[in-house]
Structures are given as structure tokens and as C-alpha cells.
Amino acid sequence: MRTYNSILTIVLSFLLLGCSVSKRQHQGYVSSKSFNFKINFATAKSVIIIPAECNGVKKNFLFDTGAELTLIQRDSIVGIKEKVSGASNRKMIMGNEMIESFKIGNVDFRNTKALNTDLIGLKEKVPDFGGIIGQSIISKGNWLINYSENIIQLSDKNLIDSTFHSIKVKYDDGMPFIILLIEGKKYKALIDLGSSEAFSIPKDSKLAKELLIKYDFQNNEREIYTIGGLQKQEEKIGMIPLIHIGNVKFENIKASIRHTSQLRVGNKFFNNFSVYIDNENRNYSLKSNNL
């Protein structure tokens, strides 16, 4: 397992503006009716990096459950242009294209809808950067992510047993949202595995105001990469002692209160867990790796 470290915080997720993307997410198919592939993954900060072949060209791709479509790195935009919005609400123009073949190991995703643009500031950080694996690929298989061992498995079959805890997930335009329980109150959050942070909270939200009163948060400034490029952001950093997702307990979660479009849980939230993305049943399951 290799880690690519930098000063960067990465929040990749993006949404298309003014349209439903469900049809485009579901376009395409996996060439084999039965498939299974397991691989050790690298990380950029904590965002998963998976090697893949896009139309026969081998590159490294970032894995992002918060990206509505897959995104291909291009030095110049190809195809019909449209506007997208990143995690910090900044806008960016991207092109549209069809990927004839996208292979992750022996699993071949055919005729996948994708966006493309030049991700300056990110492509320099990830060697042989090819783009972002979004829901137009993620939604076509089941994924088992073991964060403790840096292993990811992709299959059309069920990959877990009764030791995993199922959690309620609601999909909105193909995006997975969960309910968090904090201080006895419920909050809707995006499962954003394109984020290198643990827990991001919009600075003007009611939750942010309540946490700032109850806990000790410190001012901080850092460079963040979101769709739209690099930017320096001021934030407040603190620890939340306890968060529940269903019956699963998360302790001492590092939270960032900053300019972000919505509540989101990222990769570091699940540091000590295995996460199962069950797209066959549109569900997520969790298992603590400390047991």
C-alpha cells in the first residue's frame, strides 16, 4: 500500500446543475454477468486510488461516492459542455463523453457516461492521474472497502456476513445519504468517499452553532482542492465525542466547520471500519475492524 501525502485536503464531490442524472448514471453495463476482483489500494491523503484502464490507457483514479458521474482528466474539454457545482458551491464547466471501456482489474464497464475537464492542482498531486470514479461506475457493482488493510473488492455477489450492521441509506439522484445521531438529534449527511476529511459541517448550519457552544473548536486555515480548483479556506476544527449511525457507534470524530454545501462524512470517518456498498439492494453495511 502506498500513500501520496501532501498539504492538500481533498473534497472531490460534484453535482450537475439543473438536471436529473439518474438516466446517465444507469447507462452502460458490465460486460460479464458474473465478476469479482480484489486489490490493495493506495491513497491520496485518505481518498482511495484505484488503477484502471480507460479505453485501453492505464491511469490512477480516485474513488468518489459523492460524484454523480465518472470524470475523466482531459487537458482540454471534449463534447457538449455543462456546468457543475463542487462541494464548496464553486462552479466549473465540463464536457460530456462516452467511455467505451473502463476496466478495473478484470471487470469491464462498457458504454459509461462521463464528464471531462482539466483538474489543474489535483493532477499534479496524483501520479498518472486519470480522473474520478463516480456513481456511473460505482452503482453497477457491490464494493467492500477495508480501511484498516487498504483492500477493496468489487463483485456482483454478496460479499459480507452477519457480522456487518446494515444502515439506512436514502438515495437522492443516485447519491447516498445517511442519518446521523448527534446529541440526541438527527442530521442528514452525504456519504462522500471523495473527501479526505472525517466530518464536514456547513459553517452557517444550526449544528455548527450548537457544536461551537458545547465543544472546543480551534481556528485553522488550509489549502483545499474542490471542483473548481485550489483554494485556501478558514475553518474551525474540533472533536465530537460520539456519533451514531443506526446501531453503530463512532467515537472522537474530528470535525471541520467550514464553507461546504452540506453535511458530509468522508473516508477518515471510517478509519477503523469495513464499509460495504451494496448496490444490488441499494444499501450500506458497516463492521468495526477492532472487534
DSSP annotation string for 119-177: -TTTTTTSTTEEEEE-HHHHTTSEEEEETTTTEEEEESS----TTSEEE-EEEETTEEE
Distances (CA, A) of 248 to 12, 71, 183, 226: 26, 32, 15, 30
How far apart (Å, rounded) are the C-alpha atoms in residues 285 and 287?
7
The two beta strands, 273-278 and 248-258, are unpaired
pLDDT at 88: 65
The highest-level CATH class for domain 3-155 is mainly beta
Note whether 3-155 and 165-288 share their fold.
yes
The model's confidence at residue 6, banded by pLDDT at 50, 70 and 90, is very low
User: What average pLDDT does this structure show over 227-244?
Assistant: 89
Domain map (residue ranges) of the chain = 3-155, 165-288
pTM for this one?
0.92
User: What average pLDDT does this structure show over 117-138?
Assistant: 92
For the purposes of burial, counting CB atoms within 10 Å of the CB of 239, is it exposed (0-12), middle (13-18) or buried (19 or more)? Answer: middle
The model's confidence at residue 92, banded by pLDDT at 50, 70 and 90, is confident
Q: Is the pLDDT of residue 279 over 60?
A: yes
Q: Is the pLDDT of residue 175 over 70?
A: yes
| Lowest mean pLDDT across 20-24, 151-155, 262-266 | 20-24
The more confident residue out of 104 and 119 is 104
Total residues found in the chain within this entry:
291
Superfamily of domain 165-288: Acid Proteases (2.40.70.10)
Which amino acid is it at 198? A
In this prediction, what percent of the chain has a pLDDT beyond 70? 92
Report which DSSP code applies to 270: G
pLDDT at 58: 97
